Amino acid sequence: MSHSAVSQAAAAISVSNGNKRSLRRSVFKNNSISFNSKPWSSFSLALNQITTSITDANRYTNSTICMSVQQTSSSKVSVSPIDLEDAKDPPLHLYKPKEAYTAKIVSVERVVGANAPGETCHIVIDHDGNLPYWEGQSYGVIPPGDNPKKPGAPHNVRLYSIASTRYGDFFDGKTASLCVRRAVYYDPETGKEDPSKNGVCSNFLCDSKPGDKIQISGPSGKVMLLPEDDPNATHIMIATGTGVAPYRGYLRRLFMEDVPNYKFGGLAWLFLGVANTDSLLYDDEFSKYLKDHPENFRFDKALSREEKNKTGGKMYVQDKIEEYSDEIFKLLDDGAHIYFCGLKGMMPGIQDTLKRVAEERGESWDLKLSQLKKNKQWHVEVY
């Protein structure tokens, strides 16, 4: 990011989007939010974050970039507007792909180290309070340009899990964040990158600059909503790569934000599978929760290129699940919710592991899975 991007990105925080169409399908009212109602200025926070990304841009280290200034304090952060808590049902499809909402990019920040395979970015989007969502939902993004399969028509919508709480990274209900890995194609014969086959939307997002416009639809999704009827529930969260996005939102709500009517007293247990240490996402945030809430948060990592499983093979997330299988099964029997998010290819290995463990325990996995689904304890979103 260039130094000239500082003023653009900071200005994007408070930009008023021209699309003021009323949210006739929503009960959310956000228009009276004041930046001064929070314990610090959103502008200063944004500028601090952007300046940090500029400083770090040319010196990626073996740790991920810290995405939250608030991590320096163990006290919880005030959020507003509190009426985002009032709705009984999640907002759904407030904007359709053909009538997408025009939002603006606030910041794009690389969040993996130099030795990570590929590039992953944390992208903050300003929706000015007009596109509210709940934790676990997704936005649709329509990249600019024509659809190559339908000349003259726009690109198809791409869905991305939202990586922030309903209050956004600046705690004012006006932004949403995405965690996006740049999809790049390399020709198997030449070994060279072929830009014509690169992921259209992921590259658009990762190449975006502060102030750029972005077309968004949604929000969508009910499967991954965080159940809050029992504040003492157990939540087992399993992710590969950018599948950690919804859990980042969950954990900020559980441990970072001061939400008046929701005080979490249960257990959140995150399993994250990535290639190596440099590929860990939001590791600073998660590590701080471990320090501040050791009784309520557990965090296990599976680093496939750095660790071995018990048979000497690569350590994948299903190997970590097997390692703690007795405890996990007991928690599920006691009503725990279990979530899976990431690449579709993660599920067969996980399902095979769970089935094998169930059989070793003398249980029928098919029967157990059916019961988990019936009890609404089983949440899956893969792509």
In a domain? residue 27: no
DSSP 5-22: HHHHHHHHHT---S----
Active-site annotation holder among 109, 257, 285, 381: 381
Residue whose token pair is 């209900």: 173
Inter-residue contact 286 to 251 (CB < 8 Å): yes
**CA 104 – CA 9 distance, rounded (Å):** 10
Which of 152, 144, 146, 151 lies closest to 100, judged by CA? 144
C-alpha span between 321 and 318 (Å, rounded) = 5
Enter the pTM of the model: 0.80
Q: Measure the CA–CA gap between 310 and 280, rounded to whole angstroms.
A: 22
The whole domain housing 147 covers 82-382
378 half-sphere exposure, CB direction, 13 A CA radius: 14
Residues 9, 210: Cα–Cα separation, whole Å = 5
Question: Looking at 121, 179, 206, 341, which residue is catalytic?
Answer: 341
- With tokens 């000015």, the residue in question is 128
Assess if residue 30 is contained within a domain. Answer: no
Q: Is-contact 105 216, C-beta < 8 A?
A: no
Instruction: Verify cis geometry, omega within 30 degrees of 0, for the bond prior to 81.
Output: yes
- For residue 7, what pLDDT is reported? 37
Here the tokens at position 336 are 């725990």
CATH number at residue 158: 2.40.30.10
44 is in an annotated binding site: no
Does the annotation list 234 as a binding residue? no
What is the predicted pLDDT for the residue at 191?
Answer: 73
161 annotated as belonging to a binding site for a ligand: yes
44 a catalytic residue: no
Per-residue confidence (pLDDT) for residue 172, from 0 to 100:
97
Among candidate residues 107, 138, 161, 325, the one labeled active-site is 161
Residue 305 is assigned to a ligand binding site: yes
CB 50 within 8 A of CB 5: yes
DSSP state of 71: G
> Looking at 95, 101, 160, 339, which residue is catalytic?
160
Distance CA 85, CA 260 (A): 9
Is residue 328 included in any domain, yes or no? yes
Question: In 10 A of CB 377, how many CB atoms?
Answer: 19
Tokens representing 1 are 């990011």
Give me 198's structure tokens: 């690169």
Number of structural domains found in the chain = 1
Per-residue tokens: 276: 């190596």
Concerning whether 139 is annotated as a catalytic residue, the answer is no
Query: Does residue 197 lie in a domain region?
Result: yes
Identify whether 11 is part of a domain.
Answer: no
Residues of the chain with pLDDT under 70: 1-74, 187, 190, 193-194, 196
* Amino acid letter, 324: Y
Residue 59 lies in a domain: no
User: What tokens were used for 331?
Assistant: 């928690």
Residue 343, annotated ligand binder? yes
> Which tokens in the block code for residue 247?
């859990």
On whether residue 57 sits in a domain, the answer given is: no
Residue 44 lies in a domain: no
Is 110 annotated to bind a ligand? Reply is: no
- Mark whether 66 is an active-site residue: no
Q: Cα–Cα distances in Å, from 134 out to 28, 101, 121, 231?
A: 12, 17, 21, 17
The answer to whether 185 is a known catalytic residue is no
